[in-house]
Every structure is written in structure tokens, then in C-alpha cells.
Amino acid sequence: MAAAPSKPERVADSKHGGTGEGSAQAAKLAAAACLECGRADALLQCSRCGAPYCSQECQRRAWKGHRPVCQRPARDAPSLGEASSSSTGARRPGAEAAAPALEKCPDLKAELTGPLRVGWREYLAERGASRRAEVEKIKELEAFGLAILQALQRMPERMPLEATNGRCVVWVLGARDGIEKRQILLGGWEPLFSSLEVAWDIVLVGPELQEDMKVCVAPGRRVYTYACLAHEAKMEEHLRRPSFVSALNTGIGASVVHHMRSWIPTLGELLLLGRPVLFTCFGMHEAKVEDQIFKAMQASFAPHQEGGFSYVLEPDKPLSVCNALFTWVHGSRLSPAQLQERAIPFVDAQLRSAELFHFLKEARSHVNILADPEGAAHSNWAAMYDGRFVPCLKQALEEDDDDRGGVQTIVRCSMKTVASASRSPLAAAVLLDMGIEPALASFRSWAHRGHWTRHDWMVEEVVQRLEETETLLRGAGPRGTALDVSGGEPEEPFVCTFRVRASAAVLRKEPARDSPVVAKVQSGRVLRTRSRRGLWLRAAHGGREGWILGYHDKTNAGDMTDWDILGWEP
């Protein structure tokens, strides 16, 4: 049976007749927050370890989580001078007691209880769930909590999982009211909480949250919400050093999506925090890009592992298979100045270039899809994936598409990609060169008919993105062809390797179509580049350095007409 908590003692202060050391201690406690409710003026303390509380009730509620770390302070050991003088009964003048030894915080990984979580099949069998409605309800409420629990159980030994004031403090970044917060309030994360016998502080942070407030879910468990970005959150003192951070499905590996790059500065701050960070993603492509980002920031991270509790949580996003893969990241070998001044700008430039060149490879297929959705959707989508479909896409095309054979899913993805790419003046010029304007006009007429979906919100979504694209394209021109726009671009770093698949690619002396040829590159050759200027990549081949064009149209078929980026490097 667990021992009862020691009765909290009131520290003497000026209001209660205390003076001297007692007043100083009271002032120190007054600045501390109650470990249970967070109240700032905690004037009581545990008689064993001195932990601050505002009342006996708070101490009783916190005892279950506080007990494993509640210890009496080590007795001050005598200094060598005191030891020698005590034998003669006299203390050496000026001798001071040595400071008590600091003890290492216990690793909470050792406190994890319960079976090792493998995946849905075993878990649903354990729960005795077989009916489809019951299974879907469990997945909807428990998917994220189980994904975090599985990741904690597989957390690398070298990464610490430390309690903060006897509690497990977890930040959940990018949280939303309808998903993470709802799951927690309805008990969906209970398997996670019950696996660790400590009190929990769950800090939900995200601009999509509706309010800032503290919600007490149960004794020993508190939920805080901050409706803002991570770096904007004004957290209470006892929440600022999390035991770990959860960043689920951030999309930082989705380099083709413009707004995902905003996560890069946040990643830099998380690395400086020096606490373990859990990242999950939608698939292997994103995992590879995440690895490259972590390497560029010289972060310590574990290889991605397959998540056993992946789930399509949002029916309107059938390609978003949440928590398909996960990894742990902990700290960086770079200094704060190196991260802020070198690593983050470099990664942002790399992602910007990767976004452009991945889009260039697929741009013609997207234009064809929008010009003729019914006739070109399947063939052009397959061409982008070299005829292969990832499992989640196959499921979306076969099951979640209103029996339209995948047309509505493909159309939405293409329209989203084109709208995002149009933010770049260079990509916008490429689209204009390809004749996207008549394709968009035809697509507008097709989309408004609405026969391709039974969901009004889908029609509104694609029309909104169509209008956004048209506005961006009008703002981009007339500025000449894509190569004209490219000529005015500055040279910037882009470290990548790519394979030439053209039959007759050439390196030119300068980044211009009329510049002399310095070398011819055979099909299948792998080249490495360290910079780009607009659509031109600086590369070396056969001991000669030059520029190879990363874009083709009808007038420059002699350049790099077909190629694969194998990956960019830190």
C-alpha cells in the first residue's frame, strides 16, 4: 500500500511573523507554482522534499505522480576542513558546508507499463472489437494516443524521458479542437496515460484551436490549450521544459507544399530546447525528406519506423494516412547561432528548390489533367508515379471516391499542387509557357457542373483554388518566357544528385540557351550539383563544369528533357 503523503508545511513569511531565512524561503516559494493546479502563490511545501503546493487537497491529488520522485534532500556533507576540525571539537573559521550532490532525474521510459503495442489487429482483438462501427469509433478516438504510446515504447535508449517536477509534461504541436483535444477529452488517450504511472500535463498548441484555457480532465491530469503557433505560446513556468514533444503529421517532408516550410524555424527552436521530439509523417517520401532536413541541421535522430496505428482520420483527405511512419529527434550539434544563421536558411533554400524541380517534372501532367479531367486523369496521374500507386492512393481511388474511379481525388490533388506552385514566379512562368490558361478556362466550366462529386464543399474547394491560381498567374505576367524569368534569378545553393534520362543532354558554359556546349551527358549518368540559377543547375561532368537546363519545352529538346532528382543533400 502506498505511503500517505507527508503533511505540507506552511513556510513562515512576514505576514505570519516569520523573519530572516523563513521570509527568504517564503519569497522563493511565492514565485513558484503549485505542482498540481499551477496556482502561482504556493505557500505550502512538502515536508519531505520541499515541493510547492497551495493546499493539502492539491498535494493529495498529486501524490500518485509525485511519490516516485519525492525524496528528502541529501544531508549536507562536511567539507574536508569540517571533518578535520570536528575531531578536535572546533570548526575551522570560514569553513562552509558542501552543496548536496545533484541526483540524475529518473528516466520515465523505465516506468512504462502494459504490453508492447504492435498494431491495430492485436489491439482490436484485445478490445474485442469486431463490428465496423465499433472499430471505426475506436480508431477515431484512440489513433493518435496509441501512435504516441507505440513511439514511446520504441524510443531510443540514448534519448532521455525525464519528469518535470514529478509530472510528465508533453507538448502537442499543431493540435486542433476537433481531433487531438476532442480525443483527449473523450478518453481516447487513456491507454497512453495509464501506461505511465505519473501525473500528466498535456499542452496543446496550434493556431486552429479555438480558445486559451486550462481543462482539468481528471485528478493528476491537466490539459492546457494555446491558440497560437509554438513560438508564440506564453506558457506558465512549469510547462516550459517538456518531457517530450509530439509533432504529428507536420508535413515538413512534403516539400511540394508551400506552407509546410513554415515548420522549419519551429524545428530549429525544438532542437535548441534539447528535449525528445516525436515526428510522424504520411509516407516514405516524406520520411526521406525529413531525414535530409534533420541531417542538414545536424540533429540526433533515429531511423523512421513503421507506425502500427496509422489511420485516415479525416475523410475529406483520403491521401493523408496519419502516423504512417515515426522518428525521434533530440538536439543538434550546432550552436544556436549556427542553426539560426546557417542551417535554417540553407534548408529553406533547399526546400524551395526541391519544390520547384519536383513540380517541373510533373507540371505537364497536371496541366493535362485540368484540361481534360475525364479523359486524362488516370493516365497522367499514373505517369507521375511511373505507373505505380502507393497503397493509400489505391484505396482512395477504389473506395473513397463516390464510384467516380478516382477522378475527384486526382483533380483535387492536381488543383492543389498547381495553386501552391503558382506562388513562385518561375513556376508560374512555366505554367504560362505550357498554355495553362485555356486549360483552366475549360476546367472552370467542368468543375461548376458538379457532376463529378456529390459534395458541394469539394466543388467550392477546387473553384477557390482555381481562382487563387488565376490571380497568381495574372500577377506573374507578362514577363516573358520561363527562361527569360530564369535569367534574372540569383544563384543560390542547391545540393542534389540527379540522373539524366535524356538521350542528348548537354552542359553549357553559362546559364543561357545560346551559350557554348562544354560537355555532352549520356543517358543514365548521375550528376551532382551545388547551386542553381533559376531553371539552370550547375554541375560537373568529365572534369568540366557547366550549366544544365532543368526544364524543357518544344524549343530546347537538346537539353535535359528527362531526368530524376535522386535527392538533395545537407
Provide block-wise average pLDDT over 10 residues at a time, the chain (570 residues).
47 37 41 66 67 77 70 38 32 38 61 90 91 89 94 93 90 90 92 91 90 75 88 86 92 64 84 93 83 90 92 55 90 91 87 80 87 87 62 48 66 88 86 90 91 84 93 77 78 84 81 89 85 89 87 46 54
Could you read off the pLDDT of 476-505 as tens digits, one per residue? 766 667 777 777 788 888 888 888 876 767
Q: CA 340 to CA 443: how far, in whole Å? A: 43
* Same domain (yes/no): 121, 261: yes
**End of a domain among 303, 333, 363?**
333
Q: Nearest to residue 56, comparing CAs of 9, 2, 1, 3? A: 9
pLDDT of residue 302: 94
pLDDT of amino acid 320 = 55
pLDDT of residue 30: 40
Strand (E) or helix (H) holding 409: helix 407-421
Q: Is the peptide bond before 115 cis (omega within 30 degrees of 0)?
A: no
Do residue 48 and residue 176 come from a single domain?
A: no
Q: Which one of 333, 364, 389 terminates a domain?
A: 333
User: Does 28 map to a domain?
Assistant: no
280 and 356 belong to one structural domain? no
Q: Same domain, yes or no, for 263 and 366? A: no
Of 280, 125, 123, 241, which is closest to residue 188 (Cα–Cα)? 123
Do strands 325-332 and 299-301 pair parallel, antiparallel, or not at all (unpaired)? Answer: antiparallel
**300 and 165 in one domain?**
yes
Give a yes or no: residue 568 inside a domain.
Answer: no
Q: What percent of the chain has a predicted confidence (pLDDT) above 90?
A: 27
Q: How far apart are CA 204 and CA 168, in angstroms?
A: 14
Examine residue 88 and state whether it is found in any structural domain, yes or no: no
Q: Quick check: is 550 in a domain?
A: yes
Which residue shows C-alpha cell 505511503?
A: 3
Whether residue 377 sits in one domain with residue 503: no
**pLDDT for the residue numbered 195:** 92
Domain of 557, in residue numbers:
492-563
pLDDT value of position 74: 40
397 within a domain of the structure (yes/no): yes
Note whether 371 and 304 are same-domain residues. Answer: no
In a domain, residue 569? The reply is no
Enter the C-alpha cell of residue 535.
531553371
CATH number of the domain that residue 502 is part of = 2.30.30.40
The 10s digit of each residue's pLDDT in 29-48 is 344 567 777 665 666 777 66
- How does pLDDT run across 250-271, given as a tens digit for each residue? 878 775 555 566 788 888 889 9
Q: Facing residues of 82 across strands?
A: none
Q: Are residues 530 and 552 in the same domain?
A: yes
Taking Cα atoms as reference points, which of 14, 16, 45, 7 lies closest to residue 29? Answer: 45
Best CA proximity match to 562, nearest among 412, 287, 362:
362
- What pLDDT is recorded for position 259? 57
- Domain contains 338: no
Work out how many domains the chain is built from and give that number: 4
Domain check: are 202 and 244 in the same one?
Answer: yes
Q: Are residues 468 and 518 in the same domain?
A: no
Looking at the domain assignment, is residue 26 inside a domain?
no
| Nearest alpha carbon to residue 105 among 244, 270, 243, 277 | 243
**168 and 307 share one domain:** yes
- Looking at the structure, tell me whether residues 329 and 387 fall in a common domain: no
Domain boundary among 279, 306, 333: 333
The rounded distance, in Å, linking the Cα atoms of 213 and 272 is 27
Q: Residue 327: in which H helix or E strand, if any?
A: strand 325-332
474 with 527: CB under 8 angstroms?
no
Q: Tell which residue, 46, 14, 17, has the closest CA to residue 27.
A: 14
